[in-house]
Structure 1
Amino acid sequence: MSDRAFIAQLEGYGLTTAEILYHRPYAPSLLQLFVWQEHDLAPDFPVLFDFLDHWRLEIRAALHSVRIAHDRLIWPTEWRAVDGIITIQ
């Protein structure tokens, strides 16, 4: 049995985190925070946009803003093997 997240990473998907600020219908002057996390494909984010479409249709809370972080967007410097010797004193 294969792990779904591992298979997704092999297909190019990476961990995506969305910080969603929204207004509740009974308190429109207050902002509330919802954090969503799933494996998604940058830069199109099809899984996130499907979730946001579901939010707009099914949840009675108006979206204020969405901030996205994706592991490919904040990727650290990649290492690669090179032939040679480096002397450090």
Structure 2
Amino acid sequence: MTTETELMLKGYGLTTAEMTYHMPDYPHVLNTYIWQDYDLAPDHDRLLHFIGFWRDTLDGVLHSVRYSHRKLIAPNEWRNVVGEFRYH
């Protein structure tokens, strides 16, 4: 299993999607669902996979999807510290 830090170092960023959908029992009523996962821009494979899962499995028809993507750390912002110096 890959840790969140390893994903961020590989270029993944946090993707947040707000999905507005029609309630199955009340089709004129809209509801929202918030989804978050680490994903690669600009393809957003994980987000598209989840939208496909939603369409194939869930009863609520999607009305719209708004998303944002933010890289929390970039590979050039990370430094591997190999040693430590102590000064008294």
Short-chain TM bin: 0.7 to 0.9
Structure 1 runs (4+) greater than 3 angstroms displaced? none
Q: Counterparts of 1:29 and 1:38 in 2: how far apart (Å)? A: 29
Q: Kindly state the Cα deviation for residue 33 of structure 1 after the two structures are TM-superposed.
A: 0.4
What pairs up with 1:38-77 in 2 under 5 angstroms?
Answer: 38-72=37-71
Cα root mean square deviation, aligned: 1.3
Task: Please give the secondary structure, in 1, of the residue aligned with 2:28.
Answer: strand
Instruction: Report 1:1-89 matches (<5 A).
Output: 4-72=3-71
Q: Which amino acid aligns with 1:56?
A: R
Q: Aligned partners of 1:58, 1:3: CA distance in 2, in Å?
A: 27
Aligned length: 71
SS at match of 1:29: coil
TM-score (norm: length of structure 2): 0.76
Greater relative contact order, per chain length (Cα 8 Å cut-off, separation 6+):
2
Identity of aligned residues (%): 44
Q: Any unmatched runs of 5+ in structure 2?
A: 72-88
The answer for unaligned runs of 5 or more in structure 1 is 73-89
Query: Residue 41 of structure 2: SS of its match in structure 1?
Result: coil
Residues in 1 aligned to 2:28 and 2:3: alpha-carbon distance in whole angstroms: 40
